[in-house]
Amino acid sequence: MFAQPVWLLYLFTAFIIAVSANGNRYQANWKSLDARPLPTWYDESKFGIFVHWGVFSVPAFGSEWFWWHWQGQNPPDPKCVAYMIENYPPGFTYPEFAPEFHAQFFDPDKWADIFEASGAKYVVLTSKHHEGFTTWPSSYSWNWNSVDDGPHRDLVGDLAEAVRNRSLHYGLYNSLYEWFNPLYLADKKNNFTTQDFVLKKLLPELTDLVLRYKPELIWSDGDWEAPDTYWNSTEFLAWLYNDSPVKDVVVTNDRWGAGCYCKHGGYYNCADKYSPGELPGHKWEKCQSVDTQSWGYRKNIQLSELMDLPSIIQDLVQTVAMGGNYLLNVGPTSDGMIPTVFEERLRDVGGWLAVNGEAIYASKPWRVQTENATVPVWYTSNSKESSVFAVFFTKPHGYTFKLYEPVTTDTTVVTLLGNSGPLRWSPLQPAGLVILLPEIEFSSGQAWTLKLDWVK
């Protein structure tokens, strides 16, 4: 009578200890890693800046894929071949661009001022693109990094300080593969049955990157040629989430091996510039570039190829309404300047957010994402769901504005962000309301927000 309950108690205690030990540590498999809750700062931030900067900013022709288009793919891109013939001596090699990466005007405080003024809450810089050049002094990338060559400066570290000083979160982009790394090419030739590149270069370097700069976001890329088992992605992520100095704050994306994206990892990017057609069940991020043709700076940029402010704001609002974050990219020059046209776009996004940010930051998707009301509107709600925001991009013709989805209550209050005082409204049958608009002021982003308190 006595012995049995004690015996059971021991068993139960052992069971609890085993469960909590497992529960606290992530295992190197997707089931365990995918169950990790995303640190909350990320979803609340909504808007970040992506920066593509590297040796590719020197030729600055076509895109940051210049080296591959010139000498990797078969056949090469004739435009890139012609560009080299016309502008460089015969036999000029890609690594010879590195000494021309001067970054002499790089002022991290000025960059961070622009990013802060844009209203972004996080910044993601390329620490290494597919060319393999690291923008920090990696000892695993000897003589192919920004301290041994080019600017002779730790670009990752210098920007980290300035960005963090403005209380923005700091993330790093890292390409898993390197187009022309001999270790990688040998593994590839072996159908990825060997892992020399991963074990001797990638993992030690990526671990060092995390220990040195403590990034709060790792934007992984260049994964698609090999499975995650080749990259040892789950082992790396288990270390990152269990034992790294950023284990409690770090956020990652989904590019960790062929077939991973949209399926495994932290938040989902899926394809570049991807937008889902309906509200997804998983946190996601849309990456987009002000220059629609390139992520890196290119000298042959055309004004008509840039996103204008209204299209950026629409993309941001629609992304956030669908539960996504918006990561907007600019490509600085090899001199270290953010081209003024990009700076202007970023500052103007900040101007719009200063008035309408309540509809964006820390918002949640609403019951309905969009409807064709008097004009099309996109909805978000605040985290307590006591307010719903309806953002519209077309100036209505008259002064009455109908919304059909919100269900009003006795306490409903309607305002137009940036305009003082509540607006008059009356309910519609069977649901919805008609609002009497004030004179709508000019908005350089061509987007206005109606705030509805206490609707259902």
Ligand X SMILES: *[C@@H]1O[C@H](CO)[C@@H](O)[C@H](O)[C@H]1NC(C)=O
Task: Judge contact between 163 and 208, C-beta under 8 A.
Answer: no
CB of 13 or CB of 394, closer to ligand X = 394
CB of 199 or CB of 341, closer to ligand X = 199
CB of 98 or CB of 260, closer to ligand X = 260
Residue type, 348: D
Say what the alpha-carbon torsion angle 248, 254, 257, 261 is, to the nearest 10 degrees.
Answer: 160
Closest CB 176 distance from ligand X, rounded Å: 14
Closest CB 10 distance from ligand X, rounded Å: 34
CB of 71 or CB of 311, closer to ligand X = 311
Task: Judge contact between 429 and 387, C-beta under 8 A.
Answer: no
CB of 157 or CB of 351, closer to ligand X = 157
CB of 148 or CB of 235, closer to ligand X = 235
Closest CB 108 distance from ligand X, rounded Å: 12
Per CB under 6 A, residues contacting ligand X are 165, 167, 190-191, 199, 203, 232, 235, 370-372, 376
Q: How many residues does the chain have?
A: 456
Closest CB 377 distance from ligand X, rounded Å: 9
Work out the angle at residue 312's Cα, subtended by the Cα atoms of residues 447 and 252, and round it to the nearest 5 degrees: 125
Closest CB 161 distance from ligand X, rounded Å: 9
- Give the up-direction half-sphere exposure of residue 453: CA atoms within 13 A in the CB hemisphere: 9
Q: How far is it, in rounded angstroms, from Cα 267 to Cα 253?
A: 5
CB of 270 or CB of 373, closer to ligand X = 373
Closest CB 374 distance from ligand X, rounded Å: 12
Closest CB 28 distance from ligand X, rounded Å: 6
CB of 106 or CB of 378, closer to ligand X = 378
Closest CB 200 distance from ligand X, rounded Å: 10
Q: Which residue has the tokens 């002064």?
A: 399
CB of 404 or CB of 454, closer to ligand X = 404
CB of 376 or CB of 438, closer to ligand X = 376
Closest CB 27 distance from ligand X, rounded Å: 11
Closest CB 323 distance from ligand X, rounded Å: 16
